[in-house]
Structure 1
Amino acid sequence: MSRNAVPLTTHDLVARAKALAVAGERRVLGLTGAPGAGKSTLAEVLAAALGPDLAVVAGMDGFHLSNAVLERHGSRDRKGAIDTFDDTGYATLVERLARAGRGDPPVYAPAFRRDLEEPIAAGIEVPSTVPLVISEGNYLLVPSGAWPAARALMAEVWYLDPIEDLRLERLVARHHAYGKPMPDARAWALGTDQRNADLIVRTRDDADLVVEWTA
């Protein structure tokens, strides 16, 4: 049965994340939802509120396949689709993050540069002393490939479910801000992104929390 989204404030979500950040332990919090749901924004808000001693963001987008690989695969025009990510690499990273203990060396995670539209290796340092890693991405609850292996190592996964018009507005604005002319930004949001969203929304009820949050 589909659950209603819970309207929670930033304060509420920070408090719930802080409860996961237990000193001497390591937990991974997943944030998922359709493109434009606010995952990256909420991840950064939570990390800033908790501070660098308690939380670090290491997201899924660092596992985008490079543009060169996508060109070889013939999937450059579908960038962001589930098969344009290295799901096994992501699951391996989540395992390393989840199992890291105090005294272990840092784990270096890839970052994603939206201005370049490319992943950057070892762009994020995750010290072993940080108790909470926040990992956001579209496909965290998909029941195929290596995604379930990653999800099994997460303490909680929250599904962000904003009002649809707001989500689309954010998404078009983001594409436009990173260089797409407005007609192309809207076409991508309603085409490639929407096909991905249709897959992601089917995972909604597998989340630990379905939340309506507006930054």
Structure 2
Amino acid sequence: MSMHSEHAVDAARALLDEALRSGSRRLLGIAGAPGAGKSTLTALLAEQLPAGSCAVVPMDGFHLADVALERLGRAERKGAPDTFDAAGYVALLQRLRTARPTDPPVWAPMFARDLEQGLAGAIEVGAEVPLVLTEGNYLLCEEGPWAQVGALLDARWFVEVPEELRHQRLIARHERFGKSPRAARDWALGPDEDNARRVAATRSRADAVVTLP
């Protein structure tokens, strides 16, 4: 199924209604290549849904720290599937799925782009929140622990934009957070593009493809 952003809002509302009717939390996963607009779509959904009805838990909070990537020899591939704590992300989704109304909040990490590091315990998800939105590159990936993610989600979406626009956004993002124009372009068309190809191969596993303008 394909849909535009306005239809995505309606679909998210339907998922929220389902959660409220059943009394059981729902998890919506949004996958896509770097720069495709995952966080943009997630922010739009969170803004359009009733206040307090959803929480946003990005996969990027599970980035391995730079010191760990250096030690593992993976710093030049930051953003690849094996530069995340995938098992930790799976464990968090499992906690979010099984939380009961009387349970304490779940605290999730976030990724601080200005620091290029994850920050533990930054996002509070109260047990009463009926809908969790989670977004990231590898939600539909079938490598290692990533293969467990799809079964933990109630809906799996893939977001995409024209490739030229995606590249422009990525380059601008890297420049905004400190890379020189040349370094930003090299990273966007190098490591980021390698990861984008991996992500594109997972598109067929989505329940719906969301096209952003």
TM-score, normalised to structure 1, is 0.94
Kindly state the Cα deviation for residue 6 of structure 1 after the two structures are TM-superposed.
2.7
Secondary structure of residue in 1 paired with 2:204: helix
Indicate yes or no: 2:1 matched with 1:12.
no
Secondary structure of residue in 2 paired with 1:93: helix
Residues 1-215 of structure 1: pairs in structure 2 closer than 5 A: 6-8=2-4, 10-21=5-16, 22-23=19-20, 24-214=23-213
Kindly state the Cα deviation for residue 84 of structure 1 after the two structures are TM-superposed.
0.2
Runs of 4+ residues over 4 Å off in structure 1: none
Q: Tell me, yes or no, if the aligned pair for 1:26 and 1:101 is still in contact at 8 Å.
A: no
Mapped partners of 1:173, 1:129: distance in 2 = 38
Worse-matched range after superposition: 17-26 or 127-136: 17-26
Mapped partners of 1:112, 1:202: distance in 2 = 25
Unmatched segments (≥5 aa) in structure 1: none
Kindly state the Cα deviation for residue 7 of structure 1 after the two structures are TM-superposed.
4.5
Q: Tell me, yes or no, if the aligned pair for 2:140 and 2:149 is still in contact at 8 Å.
A: no
Mapped partners of 1:132, 1:197: distance in 2 = 27
Kindly state the Cα deviation for residue 102 of structure 1 after the two structures are TM-superposed.
1.6
Kindly state the Cα deviation for residue 19 of structure 1 after the two structures are TM-superposed.
1.0
Mapped partners of 1:125, 1:196: distance in 2 = 29
Mapped partners of 1:172, 1:160: distance in 2 = 19
Q: How many residues align?
A: 209
Mapped partners of 2:55, 2:115: distance in 1 = 22
Q: Tell me, yes or no, if the aligned pair for 1:36 and 1:170 is still in contact at 8 Å.
A: yes
Mapped partners of 1:7, 1:95: distance in 2 = 28
Mapped partners of 2:51, 2:62: distance in 1 = 23
Q: Tell me, yes or no, if the aligned pair for 1:52 and 1:130 is still in contact at 8 Å.
A: no
Kindly state the Cα deviation for residue 104 of structure 1 after the two structures are TM-superposed.
1.6
Q: Tell me, yes or no, if the aligned pair for 1:92 and 1:150 is still in contact at 8 Å.
A: no
Unmatched segments (≥5 aa) in structure 2: none
Worse-matched range after superposition: 136-145 or 46-55: 46-55
Mapped partners of 1:27, 1:148: distance in 2 = 19
Q: 1:45 to 1:31 in 2, by over 3 A?
A: same
Q: Tell me, yes or no, if the aligned pair for 1:62 and 1:112 is still in contact at 8 Å.
A: yes
Mapped partners of 1:155, 1:146: distance in 2 = 18
Q: Cα RMSD between the aligned structures?
A: 1.2
Secondary structure of residue in 1 paired with 2:202: helix
Worse-matched range after superposition: 77-86 or 45-54: 45-54
Q: Tell me, yes or no, if the aligned pair for 1:53 and 1:129 is still in contact at 8 Å.
A: no
Mapped partners of 2:3, 2:203: distance in 1 = 15
